[in-house]
Amino acid sequence: MTDHSLSADSPTTTSRTPLTLLGTGTMGTALGRAWLAAGHPLTVWNRTPQRTAALTAEGAVAAGSAAEAVAANRLVVTCLLDDASVGDTLEGVDLSGRDLVDLTTGTPAEARARSDRAKARGARLLDGGIMAVPPMIGTPGAFVLYSGHRAVFEEHRDVLGVPARPEYVGADPGLAALADVALLSGMYGMFAGITHAFALVDGSDLAPGDLAALLVPWLNAMSGMAHGTAERLVSGDRTTGVVSNLAMQVAGVGTLLRTAEEQGVSAALLSPYVDLMRRRLADGHGEEDTTGLVGLLRAR
C-alpha cells in the first residue's frame, strides 16, 4: 500500500494534502471523487471492499484494513452509516497523532463522546454535518457544518472545502450535529407540509406539476420568517410589528382543517402544529406571532 504521508515531498507526487477516507458508500464516494478530482492523494477503506472500486478506478489507493488506512495519513475522514459504525470501524485502531474528521450523521451527545474518546486515544476530532445530497457534492450549494477543534478546522480548511463549503459553528464538538439536526428537522417539517399539499390536490384539476410550480416560490418566500422568529427570540418582543397575529392564524387554520376533511385527507401532519397554536392562543397570546410556540415545545 502507498503511504501518502511519507511520500508527500517526493517530486513525483502532488503537493495537495493526502488524506484517508473510511466509508465509501454513496456519500463517501461523492466526497472521494471531489478530492481525487482536485488532486488530493486519497487512501480509502470500506467494510465491503468492492465498494471502493469506483474511487480506486479514479486513482485512490485501497487499504487492506481500517488500521492500515488510518496509518497512511494524518488527516482521516469518516463517512459511515451512523455513530455505531464509526465505533466498530475505529475499534482497536491506533489513532495517535491523527486528525479525525467525522462526517457521519449523529447526535450532539454522540459527537461529544466520540471527541472525548478520540482525545483519550491521542487524536483530535472535528465533527461535521453534511448539508447536501451526494449529487450536490462539489457544487456551490453544498456545505458542511463543523464543530470541535478550531485548530484542526483551520489547518485542514482548504482540503475540507474541496467537496463542500465548510462552515465552522463552534468549539463544542456537539454543535455541528445539533445544527445539522435543527436544519434537517426544519426540512422534514417542510416535507410534511409538501406531502399534505399534494394529498389535498390529488385527483383535482390542479396537476401535481402546477402545484409544485406554485408551492416552491411560496415556500421560498415564507421561509424568511425564520429571521423574524430569531429576532423575537433574542429581543423577547413577541408583539411589535406583528402582521399575522396568532388569533388571526388560528381562525385561518380552521379553514385548512375543514378543507382537508372536504378533500378526504388526513390532517395528521397539520394537527400537532395547529394544537400548539391553539394552546398558545388559549394562554392569552393572540396578539403575538408564532415565536411563543418555541417555548411550548421546550416545556416538559
> Measured between alpha carbons, how far is 205 from 222 in angstroms, rounded to an integer?
25
> CB-wise, 117 or 196, nearer to ligand NAP?
117
**Whole-number Å distance between alpha carbons of 90 and 88:** 6
- Least gap, CB of 233 to ligand NAP (angstroms): 27
Per-residue x/- mask for ligand NAP, residues 18 to 57, rule CB under 6 A? Answer: -----xxxxxx-----------------xxx--x------
* Cα separation values, 220 from 43, 213, 215, Å: 41, 12, 8
| Residues in 221-260 that interact with ligand NAP by CB under 6 A | none
Residue 79 binding ligand NAP, by CB under 6 A: yes
61 φ, ψ (degrees, to nearest 5): -105, 125
**Where do we find the cell 488532486?**
39
Residue 67 and residue 89 in contact, taking contact as beta carbons nearer than 8 Å: no
Interface with ligand NAP, residue 104, by CB under 6 A: yes
Site for ligand NAP contains 85 (CB under 6 A): yes
Of all residues in the shown chain, the one whose CB is closest to ligand NAP is: 25
**CB contact at 8 A, 273 and 267:** no
| Coil/strand/helix, residue 71 | helix
Q: Which stretch binds ligand NAP (CB under 6 A): 81-89, 113-121, 204-212, 276-284?
A: 81-89
Sign of the alpha-carbon dihedral angle for 103, 26, 190, 270:
negative
* Comparison of 174 and 292: residue with beta carbon closer to ligand NAP: 174
DSSP, res 290 = G
Where b means 16+ CB within 10 Å and e means fewer, 69-106 reads bbbbbbbbbbbbeebebbeebbeebebeebbbbbbbbb
Counting contacts by CB under 6 A, is residue 80 touching ligand NAP? yes
Kindly state the smallest distance separating residue 291's Cβ from ligand NAP, in Å. Answer: 29
CA–CA separation, 151 vs 107, rounded Å? Answer: 22
Nearer to ligand NAP, 49 or 228 (CB): 49
90 vs 200 by CB, closer to ligand NAP: 90
First to last CA, the chain: 55
Footprint of ligand NAP on residues 127-156 (CB under 6 A)? 130, 133-134
* Closer CB to ligand NAP, 93 or 281, in the complex: 93
Q: Does 81 bind ligand NAP (CB under 6 A)?
A: yes
Q: According to CB under 6 A, which one of 2, 65, 88, 116 is a site residue for ligand NAP? A: 88
Q: Which residues bind ligand NAP (CB under 6 A)?
A: 23-28, 46-48, 51, 79-82, 85, 88-89, 104-105, 130, 133-134
